[in-house]
Every structure is written in C-alpha cells, then in structure tokens.
Chain A
Amino acid sequence: MNRILERQLKRFIGEATLDSMPLPWQELLTAISDTYTHSDDDRSLILRSIDIASKEFVELNKKLKSENEIIEQKVQDRTQELDYERTKLNEIAEHMATGAILLDSKGVVTFANTAAKKMLKTSDEPTIVRTLDERFPAFAIMERVKQSLDGHSSLIPEVEMDELILSVSFGSLTNESRVFGALIWLNDITAQKMLERAKDQFLAIASHEMRTPLAIIRGSAELLLGNEHVHADPEFKERVEVVEKNAVRLLDIVNDFLDVQNIDQGNIPLKIQPVDVSKILEETCNDLAHLAQEKNLFLKLTPPASPISTIHVDPYRLQQIFINLISNAVHNTQKGGITASVVDEGGFVRVLIEDTGIGISTKDQTRLFKKFETSNTFLHSREYGSGLGLYISNLLAQRMGGELKLEKSEMGVGSTFGVSFPLTPVAPAASA
C-alpha cells in the first residue's frame, strides 16, 4: 500500500489492516493506493525530466558563454586586423600619384585622396565630384557615376584642366557581383601628352623640312634614269635606281608622318561622294598585282554574289586604306596569296582582305592600330613602311563613319582584315 495512504489510514482509522476490511473497501483502498503511487511516479518522472532539462540548459548556457567569449575575441582580433588594413590602405591611397574618389551606392562621396583633391584644386571632399561635373559639363560626369553604380565602366581618355592633362576612368565597386559603390580614378597624363605633342611637332617639322629635298632627290634620280649615258653604264644605272627607290620609300614615310599629324589635328579635308566600292577595290588589286607577282603570290578579287550598294566616302582615302591593307598582306605572305572580297551586309558594305601569311600573335593584336606600334612578327622588316599604315587606315575609316578591324588571325595560317562602311551617309567624324 502507498505509504502516504497507509499513514493516513493509521491516523484516521487506527491500526486496522487491509485484509480485515470488507471486500468493497479493500478494492476501493487498493484503487486509491494505486492512484497515489501513480501520482508519485508521474511527479518523480516530471521532476526528473525537468532536472535533466535544467542541466542541459546549464550546459548549453556554459557552452554559449564560452563560444561567446571566443567570438568576442575573434571580433576583437578581426577589428584590429581591419583597423590595420584600413590604415595601410589609407596610407597607400594618400600617397598614390593617381587621384582616387570613392562613392557609396547612393552616389555620396566617402573618400577622396590627396592627389584627387590636388588635381581638382579642392579640399571639400563631399562636393569633389560635383566640382568635376561643373568643370566639364560636356563629359556628363554625374551620368557616368550613375552608370558605374549600375555596373558599367567608362573612360574619358583626355581632359585638360588648367595646366594638367588628365584621363578619368569610372568603375564599380563590387562584392560577389553586387555593386556597392563607384570609383573614379584621375590619372595625370600631362608629361606623357606633352612628350607626344613635342614628338608629333618634331616629326611634323622634320617631315615638312625633309619632303622638299627628298622630292628633289627623287626627281633628280628619275631624270638621271632617263638619261642615255646612265643607261649605257649598267652599274651606274643600278646605283641611281637604288637612290630613286629609297627616295620614294623615304617620301612615303614622310607623307605618312604628315598624314598622321594632319589626321590627329583634323586637318585632312575629305571629299565625300557616292562611291562604287567594288570598282575601287578592283582598281587597287590591278595596281598592286605586280607586287604579288614579284613574290610569286596570287592576288585575286572574289566577285560579289550580289550587286554592291553605293557608299558615301572619299574615294582617294578609301583607296589609300585598300592599298595599305593589300600591301601589308603581300609583305607578310611568303606563299599562297591574297584574296580580296566585298559583301553587302544590308546596311553595311564590308571589304575583306585575307592572306595566307605569317599571322599575328594575340599579344600583338592588341597593339595593331596604335601609333608607331608595330609587332615583332607583323611589319617586322625595318625596310618596310613607317609602321603607321594601320593607324592611318583606322583613323581614315573612322573619320568616314567606317570601322577597320582584324577579323581573324592565326599564326602560320594567315590573317583577315575587314573594313566596313554604313550605307547611310555619315558626317566626317572629328579627330580624336
């Protein structure tokens, strides 16, 4: 019998044993005893479970505190590391010659280094971009910042500011492809530009000064070659021919230099008129056929599959581009030959000059259309041209609304250059 019930029975009805009671009372008291016992068992089970749960909570609490201490220490260490990194980056940014301006995702300036403030002659960081925008309204600075915050970069290659010449680039600050700010770099390119200008000026003057004497030498050599006494002496004739040939080459180089100077300064007048591209390409191929024959190369013109639309360009300058491309192709091809073709692409006419030559390396392809940048493999001979042919052709194509590009090239297989012009007349572009 349950001990509590046993005590209660003893207290209220004395020492009577269960066996001595009538049967219904025995059954009732047994049921009550079972209820007491079950209640005790339930209570102890609940107390046990609460006790275990409490211990689990205590353990968890200890673990959490310990983990919290570790986390706090880690946060402290990381904060110190970040402070150090920030200081280091600040020092680097402050001592950089390049101006740097950082903006947050709302376009608010959060940092501008000393170089940037010096270049823009301001000490007011928050308004530094506004200052830039007001100085150069034509370059839509604020719009470029907005584009950077949308993930699009842009570049102003050259802008003059008082005595400085700057290039300004706009980029995005990203983290796992999420844009969280914009960055403006200001590069002082004054020295570089001044040097370029001095070089251009020197070349222009030198070229100009050399052209007349060279023309005289060429003319004199040509006169001599017409003289019968010269013809009578083969050795003398050969020497005069060398003089004439090199005078022509030098004159070409000098003319290239002057062309570059003129194009750079926008001084080349263009006589824009309707032009039949096929005809000019055919004439050029005929004119240069002897160059290919001298090297046992073929130079063929693929007839167009359909009539080619008329474009509006300067025919003289267009031929200059074709001459340059075909001459280069002949020069760089040792066997096989050159195929010229023209296609009407609906809205555009494209001329392709394909050779089976030495090809252009990937590294050289990036420098192909830059001034005085010739590659080691392409135009490698010092006896050939000024290295300005592609630069001039590219500028001429652009000024006439067209585009010159290397379509494809593979080392040892050959290269294909393409120049395309829109059918719609385009006003001559200003020089860059």
Chain B
Amino acid sequence: MKIEQKFWTKETGWSDISKEKLSVSPQWVMLFGGRQLLEEGERFKEVRAMYPESKILSCSTAGEILATRVRDNSVALAAVHFDKTTLRFVQTDINAYEESFDAGARLAGELLGDGLVHVMVFSDGLRVNGTQLVKGFNATLPPNVSVTGGLVGDGADFKKTLVGLDESGKEGKIVAVGFYGTALKVGYGSLGGWDPFGLERIITKSKNNVLYELDGQPALTLYKEYLGDRAKDLPSSGLLFPLRLRIENNGKEVEVVRTILAVSEADQSMTFAGDMPEGAHAALMKANFERLIDGASGAGSMSIEPLGSSPAELAILISCVGRKLVLKERIEEEIEAVQAEIGEQVPIVGFYSYGELCPVAATEKQCELHNQTMTITTFREE
C-alpha cells in the first residue's frame, strides 16, 4: 500500500506532507473538506487533474483531520494505492429518513461478491437515519464482512452535507467502498468517553429518529433549560449534551449514544442521528476532557488489535463534531492520542462527522451507529 497526503488552505494553497510522491496511480483519493469549499468545486477540479485515473471520494466535514492536525474550511487529501486489494465503489441517492434501510441494503447488495472483506460507508449526514442505514447493510452482507464509516458533516451549521464520487459532492448521496482480497487486514475501534449525569428519563413520545417527549415533557424544553444562553446555537449546542439510551435489543439491554441533527420549534421536536425508541431510558451526558482523550486513545488501541504486531499502513479517523465542540483548542490532543497509540509513522486522514458507523467491538462484525465517538478504521496489506 502506498499513500500520498496533502492539504489545502486558503492561506497556503496545496501542501504535501508525504515524504515521497506516489509513483503509481492511486485507486482511491479521499477528499475531505469544508462544505463551502466543495460547493465551489475548484478544489475537486484540481484534484481530478492531479489524479486523472483515480476514484475520488468527496465528503463535506465538520473539521478535517490530516496527520495530527485538525483544520476547518480546508481540504485534507489522502491518495491510496493498494498493491493487492481490489476496490469497488457504489453510490445511491436518498431523500428521506424512511429510505435509509433500503439504501443500505441496495448498496450492500451491489458490493456483494467473492473476496469482499470490508465496506466503508460515507453518507449524507442530515437526511439519513443511521440506525436504519446500518441495519440495511447488516441484513444484506454476509456475517464475515465488516462495515465502518460515517455520516459526513457541515461544520456546526447542520444545514447541508455533501458526498460525491468523482464529483465535488451533492446532498442526499451515500457512497460505499468495497474492499476485496485476502491480503487486506482491517481493524476498527470506536469509543466515546462521555459520562451520563442527572435523572434518567423515559422516552414517552417519539417516531423513528424524531424525539418529542421525555417523561411526558417536551424534550426541546429540557435541552433549552440545560443550555441556557447557548440554546440559541441549537442544534449544534445540543451536541454538548448527547443522550445515553438504554434500549432492548434482541432481549438484551444495550447502551447507545445519540446526538442531535436538527430541532423543530414548530412541533418542539428534536431529530437525532439514529432511532429513539419509545420506552427507552435516556440520560443526558456531559463531557469529561480527560475521558474523551482516553476514549480516542482506547479506540486507537482497539483498531490495531486485529493487525497484530505489524503497524497499520493507513488509519481513517471519523470523530464526532460534538467532541470538537467540547474539546475546542484541545481537539488535536485526541488525534495525538490516537497517533501515539497506533504508531507515530501511520498516516492519518479523516474528518469530524455527524455520526460514526462501526461494530461495537473489534471481534464483532455487525455494524452499529455511534454518536460522540472517535471511530478508527486501520488497513494493512500483507
């Protein structure tokens, strides 16, 4: 595997951070950038010119990650050439939350084939019910194929998110990348580091991923009370208080974290990235800086476990925008913690997201939607 990494900022233009340039054409170019930059389309044209034969994946972000730096309104680029692995790219459009399961199942179905070992999903971050999307993948893929990925972002604006395959990016698009071959080793890990606090409430009114009431009271009123002055910054300020849900799943009680995508003053509702089932127990969560950093470090540790003693050749980091809003100036500490864990030489690229997709443990294959986590996918060819 060979990798070339660059970034673009308004001040500096394109800058290489790789020691050597690629001598072969990469199959896959990841272009993670600010939404407005992608809308302008100039950067995509430049990248297309640099890599005329490659598949270019464009994603808008809530912050770009390249090596241990986190930037806003920049472009982070990683061009990857796999020596022994075949890649296939598929895409679909989505217009409403209700289409999420079918979209996941459709993409997974198109990728099915001999040698498929892993799938990475890059989805619109505002029009998708992440829970249903991963269910669609899980229902269609064989149990030995793992899925990771994320719901792309739009800074802290939550207005529109863009995904593109060989284009600069459009709303309502999902791209999935299939990895085929026995030489590829894939690792993944996902951890949060948030602490529940205060009273646990019961979801008394909801529909799919739209929450109306907790303990019979409007959920939006509760959030506004807790946020005080910052309520005017909803929905982004709502990320400061994600919800920990205790839900029944196949007869077992599981805990999941849900984060806000949108609010509606009209019906006092809050839209979350995943299902908010009625009857589930919900507790507000608060940030603990050290535990967030520890969470990122733990995710790094989980992600390299399956690779054994040899280091990863590439790490794709997808971390929640909520962490960025909390950690602020300290945000790069979580990337540094990951780098320290996976090895100083491992190339890192990624973005801040509106939702993360990853199995709950390194030994599991069934993908789950996560929120407020650092989610890492590592690759190595043997």
Minimum distance in angstroms from A277 CB to a CB of chain B: 64
Stretch at the interface among B54-62, B224-232, B274-282: B224-232
Q: How far is the CA of A49 from the CA of B226 in the complex (A)?
A: 6
Please count the residue pairs between chain A and chain B whose beta carbons lie under 8 angstroms apart in the complex: 34
B226 touches A46 (CB 8 A): no
B240 touches A45 (CB 8 A): yes
Does B329 sit within 8 A of A, measured CB to CB? yes
The chain A residue with its CB closest to the CB of B226 is A49
Minimum distance in angstroms from A60 CB to a CB of chain B: 6
Contacts of B112 in A (CB 8 A): none
Q: How far is the CA of A56 from the CA of B286 in the complex (A)?
A: 16
Residues in B324-369 with C-beta less than 8 Å from chain A: 326, 328-329
A48 touches B228 (CB 8 A): yes
| Cβ proximity bits B214-248 to A, threshold 8 Å, 1 near / 0 not | 00000000000111101000000000110000000
The chain A residue with its CB closest to the CB of B240 is A45
B284 touches A49 (CB 8 A): yes
Interface size counted on chain B using CB atoms at 8 A: 16
Stretch at the interface among A31-39, A133-141, A311-319, A381-389: A31-39
Q: How far is the CA of A150 from the CA of B291 in the complex (A)?
A: 59
B197 touches A53 (CB 8 A): yes
Q: Please pick, from A34, A49, A56, the residue contacting B241 in the complex, using a CB distance under 8 A.
A: A49
Contacts of A202 in B (CB 8 A): none
Q: How far is the CA of A52 from the CA of B222 in the complex (A)?
A: 10
Minimum distance in angstroms from B224 CB to a CB of chain A: 11
B226 touches A48 (CB 8 A): yes
B199 touches A45 (CB 8 A): no
Asked, given contacts A45-B240, A49-B226, whether A34 binds B329 with beta carbons under 8 Å apart, the answer is: yes
Interface size counted on chain A using CB atoms at 8 A: 15
Q: Please pick, from A35, A49, A60, the residue contacting B197 in the complex, using a CB distance under 8 A.
A: A49
A56 touches B197 (CB 8 A): no
A60 touches B226 (CB 8 A): no
A53 touches B228 (CB 8 A): no
B199 touches A35 (CB 8 A): no
Contacts of A49 in B (CB 8 A): 197-198, 226, 241, 284, 286
Q: How far is the CA of A31 from the CA of B328 in the complex (A)?
A: 11
Asked, given contacts A38-B328, A53-B197, A56-B198, whether A46 binds B228 with beta carbons under 8 Å apart, the answer is: no
Contacts of A345 in B (CB 8 A): none
The chain A residue with its CB closest to the CB of B199 is A56
Minimum distance in angstroms from A2 CB to a CB of chain B: 13
**What are the 8 tightest A-B residue pairs by CB atom distance, in nearest-first order?**
A53-B198, A35-B329, A38-B328, A49-B226, A56-B199, A48-B228, A52-B226, A53-B197
List 30 A–B pairs whose Cβ atoms lie within 8 Å, in order of A's numbering: A31-B329, A34-B329, A35-B328, A35-B329, A38-B328, A38-B329, A42-B287, A42-B326, A45-B227, A45-B228, A46-B286, A48-B226, A48-B228, A49-B198, A49-B226, A49-B241, A49-B286, A50-B197, A52-B198, A52-B225, A52-B226, A53-B197, A53-B198, A53-B199, A53-B284, A56-B198, A56-B199, A57-B198, A57-B199, A60-B199
